A and B are shown apart, each in its own frame.
Chain A
């Protein structure tokens, strides 16, 4: 069900593309409803395209002139959106309005002659010209390819409590807008293949031009693309049309992306509810337009290429599910996390990027399983890099971990520190997947489903996510073992979310000591009943080496420390010399924990043996054997095998 009361900003746009001047001339009608209890006298608009207008815009300054490592190079061509007229329409006639750009040209303020009272709807009509930049950051053109996104003046969001949410556009910022309906007419050269948000309802050709009429219902943005050399590939899933637009020489990639799209749809519908629209368009930017790749818009997204790896190499040497297909899963995931759950990407980027990354990885797990032969993101010479490991490794390496707190506006992240991605995407997803392991998949599913239900066609926040978990699971849900059974601990959800959102630390556990000692007895002097000191003699085996003592005379000792600042429960597997084993939970609140096992000889101990704590970047100190010569040393042996193989290749391959 689409909640119509959440329809706030609807647009009617007529746009004409001039491929020679790289401009779009357009006229728009905006119908906006004040759904808050406050009257407003002025309306802020986003002019995102003005980010690319000059070197001194906030976006250009914060980015250093490049995006995701791609810059315009020596083909820099500025872009802008220029509002030409602005009128308040009362049904019969228009009244010109005054408007001015803010200090940064990505914001425009429109003054109204009289306030818009709560519950009232107004209609604005405006014309504008959008000059597309040479694409390097999502939107623009490359030769005769056009990705027309963030191209029209778009009203900001008025919140009941927070007032207007109109942010200056900077490099890490994305977008925030209200839902509404869009009816858009696109006038383009007749030879262009066009992809767009929503569904096409009419098309007509007039000489060298054609006009497309497009409708999109309950979306919060509209983007489109035009390129004469697109080939089309069609697919579907449960009645949802999946249309791919690819450069003609990359058509063979389409089935892999379709497969990724379908696995994502299956997982997302199962976990977060039905996909509410009837279509999805996947755009593959052509070579030279990679800057347009990897971005989401309602019912349309751009993806990236899969590397051209021969099938034999994929089978036996290197295969991966990252390049291209993961982009497809991720950008589709945004149809939910932001497209449908329309959070404020400026204020809480993690609520869409991080939760979406988490959901993408779960989609992979749903498709390929966990701990199975098919559980890999990268496969190198038959060695799998499992999804869990990928999550963990993407956090960074010890000594170079991200340091910024998660829950802060995107513009607060310094491009120079460079940890926005690791924090927003990786840390959020690793933390949420850790939470899932701790409370169990069933409980996690229920909580996320509750969040999805509340967030659908709404503007959810991090607090809403936390509330959904607490409401669904209680404030202190039981911690679960790997087999789903309850562990003797409860998780403090508020504490977990506080550390995740506002802290900058990571969990890090270390096995400081794993050893066996002679069990202490009662030798020495004690007072007897009369108060006199009486000596208990030393046992005969007092000087016997621990190794030679019988097990009952031995005490196994395991000492763990927590160098990391993040506190959470963690299981410890302790294996004994008699082939028995036990799992002990540590609440992880103190800085250290000592386990003693009188009468048992410890063989080894392993912190988090089932990889529940995906948020722990450093696992190399999580397992320790009591005796070094008993340890399998699997990783040194692995390194040795690689070295020998390389030496064989060089020696035999080069020997004259």
Chain B
């Protein structure tokens, strides 16, 4: 629970990740709504259970509305993800109880980005091997294996990022490699917890998307989407905190 304690001690981080999690959605919603409204012109439709048909008709007549739906959603999400990557140094510093958020960000930026590339290669290789090994198994075993492997990859990435903030050899590929091997070879409570948080975060993302896509636009369904998005982002921060705790346990 030390990882959670680190987060509780840094409420500003929680606020930051919640903003990063919710802002792209709110922005994408506004863009899509305005685009569809412009395409509809002065017209409207009756609430007669044909919403999906009307939307299909609108998208067929105005393909730009489709772009306005998918484009900002994807771009906003990816930008938020990139921002969280760029901010790694500051996040780790705050979780470690250190100050100097800005300086930590700039200090760690280059090594974190370089190690991210090394990690990406290792991740592709590892997931590829798991895929090949689990492929012949029944579908659910195969899917579960891939999910756990993915969780381990994410945890390995978190450990890599944390080490990249302070290690001496922080541009060397062995940093990413050792982080990967440490996570795979010492599968303790940290790894299990991190994998669980990854899977829970993924579930929150899927549940949030599902609530949004299947919702009826009521205040309750909108609130559910945003709560799930916030929960997912919080779980992501917790996961990073687990990596910090793994590298430097609180006394």
Contacts and interface: CB of A to CB of B under 8 A. Distances in A.
Interface in B6-38: 17, 20-21, 24-37
Given A385-B52, A619-B57, A640-B29, A647 B36 contact: no
Given A623-B43, A635-B58, A638-B217, A656 B161 contact: yes
A360 B43 CA distance: 33
B45 interface: yes
A485 interface: no
Contacts of A399: 61
Given A618-B61, A647-B24, A651-B81, 15 more contacts: A316-B210, A636-B36, A636-B37, A638-B55, A639-B36, A639-B68, A642-B213, A644-B225, A645-B212, A646-B74, A648-B225, A648-B232, A649-B205, A652-B204, A656-B116
A392 B157 CA distance: 51
Given A620-B43, A639-B35, A644 B73 contact: yes
Interface string B129-170: 000000000000000000000000010011001000000000
Interface stretch (A9-17, A342-350, A529-537, A604-612): A604-612
A332 B216 CA distance: 38
Contacts of B53: 385-386, 389-390, 392-393
Interface in A103-156: none
Interface residues of A, number: 59
Nearest to B229: A648
A397 B158 CA distance: 49
B73 A631 contact: no
B208 A648 contact: yes
Interface in A437-465: none
A198 B1 CA distance: 74
Contacts of A650: 24, 73-74, 76-78, 81
Give the interface SS of chain B, mostly helix, strand, loop or mixed.
Answer: helix
Given A385-B56, A618-B57, A650-B74, A645 B36 contact: no
Interface in A309-329: 316-317
B47 A645 contact: no
A446 B10 CA distance: 76
A634 B24 contact: no
Given A397-B61, A641-B29, A646-B73, A632 B44 contact: yes
Contacts of A636: 32-37, 40
A654 B56 CA distance: 28
A623 B42 CA distance: 9
B44 A631 contact: yes
A181 B1 CA distance: 83
Q: How large is the interface on B (under 10, 10 to 19, 20 to 34, 35 or more residues)?
A: 35 or more
Nearest to A642: B69
A1 interface: no
A383 B214 contact: yes
B67 to A, nearest CB: 11
Interface in A333-385: 371, 378, 380-385
Most buried by B among A621, A650, A651: A651
A625 interface: yes
Contacts of B225: 644-645, 648
A637 B44 contact: no
Closest CB pairs A-B (n = 4): A645-B212, A650-B77, A389-B53, A652-B232
B188 interface: no
Interface in A613-633: 618-625, 628, 631-633
Of B28, B47, B217, B222, chain A has the most CB atoms within 10 Å of the CB of: B28
Nearest to A397: B60
A380 B52 contact: yes
A618 B60 CA distance: 11
Contact of A371 (B49, B55, B213): B49
Contacts of A634: 44-45, 47, 51, 54, 217
B89 interface: no
A314 B54 CA distance: 22
Contact of A633 (B37, B49, B85, B209): B37
B208 A386 contact: no
Contacts of B65: 639
B251 interface: no
Contacts of A648: 21, 25, 77, 205, 208-209, 212, 225, 228-229, 232
Interface centre among A399, A618, A632, A645 (most CB of B within 10 A): A645
Contacts of A654: 77-78, 81
B28 A632 contact: no
A84 interface: no
A511 B43 contact: yes
Contacts of B201: 652-653
B196 interface: no
Contacts of B85: 656
A398 interface: yes
A545 interface: no
A655 interface: yes
A410 B50 CA distance: 34
Contact of B214 (A371, A381, A649): A381
Interface in A498-553: 511
